[in-house]
Amino acid sequence: MRANCTCTLIRTRNGRNIIVDTLTAWDGERLTEALQHLHGLKPEDIHVVVCTHGHSDHTGCNYLFRSAQWHFMGACVSNRDKYLDCPLTCGDSEPFQLCGDDVVVVRTPGHTLNCVSVLVRGTNLGEVVGVCGDLFERVEDIMDPTIWLEAGSENPESQRIQRLRMIEMCNYIIPGHGQGFAVTENMRELLRQQVNSNNTK
- Per-residue pLDDT of 119-135, as tens digits, reads 999 998 879 999 999 99
* Whole-number Å distance between alpha carbons of 65 and 106: 22
pTM for this structure?
Answer: 0.93
* Whole-number Å distance between alpha carbons of 169 and 28: 33
In this prediction, residue 25 carries a pLDDT of 95
Q: What is the mean pLDDT of the chain?
A: 92
Of the listed ranges 42-46, 102-106, 124-128, the one predicted with least confidence? 124-128
List of domains in the chain: 8-79+95-199 (3.60.15.10)
In this prediction, residue 75 carries a pLDDT of 86
* Whole-number Å distance between alpha carbons of 78 and 48: 10
Identify residue 52 by its one-letter amino acid code.
T
**DSSP per-residue codes, the chain:** -------EEEE-TTS-EEEE----GGGHHHHHHHHHHHH---GGG--EEEESS--HHHHTTGGGGTT-SEEEETTEEEETTEE---GGGSTTPPPEEEETBTEEEEE--SSSTT-EEEEEEEETTEEEEEEEETTSS-GGGTT-THHHHHT--S-HHHHHHHHHHHHHH-SEEEESSS--EE--HHHHHHHHHHHHHHHT-
> Highest-confidence range of 4-8, 38-42, 74-78, by mean pLDDT?
38-42
CB 111 within 8 A of CB 156: no
Of the listed ranges 18-22, 29-33, 84-88, 103-107, the one predicted with least confidence? 84-88
Tell me the per-residue pLDDT of 140-199, one tens digit each, with 9 for 90 and over: 999 999 999 999 999 999 999 999 999 999 999 999 999 999 999 999 999 999 999 877
Q: How confident is the model at residue 87 (pLDDT cuts 50, 70, 90)?
A: low
Percent of the residues in the chain that have a pLDDT greater than 90, as a whole number: 79
